[in-house]
């Protein structure tokens, strides 16, 4: 039973991986996308903080 469960898991994993590869969704592209997303979030947070600081300085 244990070996058949492992085989089923591996077959499902291989099939899923192949389907993602067929769509052009590789691990590397996923990592690049996540890295880009976090960079964008960081840039947005910096810009928001700078705007808030500038607004606070203008009120003085």
pLDDT at 40 over 70: yes
Residues 5 and 12: beta-carbon distance below 8 Å: no
- Identify each DSSP E strand in the chain by its residue range: none
Higher pLDDT, 35 or 26: 35
- pLDDT value for 1: 64
- pLDDT value for 42: 98
Region 9-23 average pLDDT: 93
């Amino acid at each position: 039973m244990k070996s058949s469960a492992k085989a089923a898991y591996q077959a499902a994993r291989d099939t899923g991986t192949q389907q993602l590869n067929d769509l052009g969704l590789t691990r590397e592209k996923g990592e690049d996308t996540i890295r880009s997303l976090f960079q964008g979030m960081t840039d947005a947070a910096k810009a928001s903080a700078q705007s808030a600081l500038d607004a606070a300085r203008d009120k003085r």
